[in-house]
């Protein structure tokens, strides 16, 4: 079961990329006197005009509280809000009642972890008893996780007495999948891992993790933040139990995330955030909760953002996710090959021959990542610097920070080449200062 087959689709032509770029006015801006080279989509993507127009049109013409009012405007707003949920569900191959809106993917992952924690103290019983953790139980993550898919599990282990274990990486940054047989045991209750590393760009073998977890009855939680925007992803086919991703990394607005969960699991989990709009009956002593997805959507929702996200999904669908993957596969290979030719640059993670999205992170000994990033910014090249919310991964690879270039459907080969040309210039510049 493969999540991406870049060799089966044609990458975008130069003319097609140029047409994409015309939809993103910001890409025509200049920074420090240079044309903007935006290589920071791994942090947040840019938004096309159609997404901005969709949100503006909704606010101008149909803005109202959803699921609350009986008037016409409220009904129109609710219909469009729920249509957006259905649109996102189809994009990842699931049912609309399995899609929960959150503020971001971090909140989505926290929602799962805290709901399991609530089940562990008896909330939602008897339906939720299957999720309860305690001493002797184990949670398995990996050494390359983003903090958003590590810290919630640390906290859950601390609250329940469960033990947190992890799949290590080797010296090249590759996951030690060969250790799954000994790390996944009858005590394992949750296996949580990133589909695509936000630092290395490498793609995890989902099938192996799912098979090992389900063989012992463990839940699988997939951090899909860096995969759903860049690869054709069918969550049902992947057979994961929960997943999380964010709108702002895939041409959509900030402030909106997605939690996917199998319907029967979501309906059995006790809620995490509580309040209005997610209940059936409230007395002064107790409350009863709606089924998924409303049981996890307390309070006023991100209505215009959801509408805008549906427009972003439409844009990606029109482009073709198989072609997005093929385009990024080529850009990623170009990045890796070009960096390999630069003396004094260390590419983090496996090199050529490893399936990846269009992401590359580098460490240049003697130059702090922030200094390299500032040098690049002076030339209008926007990249991400730091530990990218993955301190354990950087620590394992022997560095405290790296410089990350990340691409998308609107990224050109010329932009990649501009980055590759600027890095050796930076090495010469900072070498001359020493």
Give the catalytic positions in this structure: 389
How many whole angstroms separate alpha carbon 249 and alpha carbon 316? Answer: 12
Print burial letters for 158-171: b (CB count within 10 Å at least 16), e (below 16): ebbebebbbbebee
Asked whether the bond before 120 is cis by omega within 30 degrees of 0, the reply is: no
Token pair listed for 371 = 């200094």
Q: DSSP 3-state assignment of 371?
A: helix
- Give which of 253, 246, 235 is closest to 91, Cα–Cα: 235
Q: What are 259's strand-pairing partners?
A: 100, 244
Q: DSSP 3-state assignment of 35?
A: strand
Which strands form 219-223's sheet, in the order they lie side by side? 99-102, 257-261, 242-246, 219-223, 188-194, 138-142, 163-167
| 18, 24, 25, 29: CA torsion to nearest 10 | -80
Q: Where are the alpha helices (DSSP H) in 216-344?
A: 235-238, 263-268, 303-319, 321-340
345 and 339 Cβ atoms separated by less than 8 Å: yes
- Vertex 179: Cα angle to 173 and 183 (nearest 5): 115
Cα-based distances in Å from 154 to 147, 183, 213, 434: 10, 17, 19, 42
CA 260, 264, 266, 267 torsion-angle sign: positive
């Amino acid at each position: 079961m493969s999540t991406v087959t870049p060799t089966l689709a044609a990458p975008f032509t130069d003319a097609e990329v140029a047409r994409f770029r015309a939809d993103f006015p910001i890409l025509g801006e200049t920074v420090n006197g240079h044309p903007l080279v935006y290589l920071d989509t791994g942090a947040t993507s840019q938004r096309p005009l159609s997404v901005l127009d969709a949100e503006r049109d909704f606010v101008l013409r149909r803005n109202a509280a959803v699921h609350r009012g009986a008037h016409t405007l409220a009904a129109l707003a609710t219909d469009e809000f729920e249509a957006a949920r259905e649109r996102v569900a189809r994009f990842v191959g699931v049912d609309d009642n399995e899609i929960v809106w959150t503020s971001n993917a971090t909140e989505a992952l926290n929602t799962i972890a805290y709901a399991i924690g609530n089940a562990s103290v008896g909330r939602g019983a008897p339906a939720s008893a299957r999720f309860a953790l305690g001493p002797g139980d184990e949670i398995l993550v990996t050494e390359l996780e983003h903090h958003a898919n590590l810290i919630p599990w640390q906290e859950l282990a601390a609250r329940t007495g469960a033990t947190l274990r992890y799949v290590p990486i080797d010296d090249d940054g590759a996951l030690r999948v060969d250790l799954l047989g000994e790390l996944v045991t009858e005590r394992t209750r949750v296996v949580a891992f990133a589909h695509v590393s936000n630092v290395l760009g490498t793609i995890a073998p989902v099938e192996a993790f799912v098979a090992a977890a389900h063989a012992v009855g463990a839940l699988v939680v997939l951090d899909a933040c860096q995969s759903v925007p860049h690869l054709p992803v069918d969550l049902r086919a992947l057979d994961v139990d929960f997943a999380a991703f964010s709108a702002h990394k895939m041409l959509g607005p900030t402030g909106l995330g997605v939690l996917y969960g199998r319907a029967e699991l979501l309906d059995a989990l006790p809620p995490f955030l509580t309040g209005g709009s997610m209940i059936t009956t409230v007395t002064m002593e107790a409350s009863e909760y709606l089924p998924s997805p409303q049981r996890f959507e307390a309070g006023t929702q991100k209505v215009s953002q959801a509408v805008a996200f549906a427009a972003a999904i439409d844009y990606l669908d029109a482009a073709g996710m198989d072609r997005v993957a093929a385009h990024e596969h080529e850009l990623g290979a170009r990045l890796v090959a070009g960096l390999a030719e630069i003396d004094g640059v260390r590419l983090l993670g496996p090199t050529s021959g490893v399936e990846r999205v269009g992401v590359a992170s580098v460490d240049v000994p003697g130059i702090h990542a922030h200094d390299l990033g500032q040098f690049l910014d002076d030339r209008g090249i926007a990249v991400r610097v730091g530990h990218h919310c993955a301190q354990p991964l950087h620590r394992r690879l022997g560095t405290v920070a790296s410089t990350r270039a990340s691409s998308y459907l609107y990224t050109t080969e010329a932009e990649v080449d501009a980055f590759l040309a600027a890095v050796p210039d930076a090495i010469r510049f900072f070498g001359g200062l020493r």
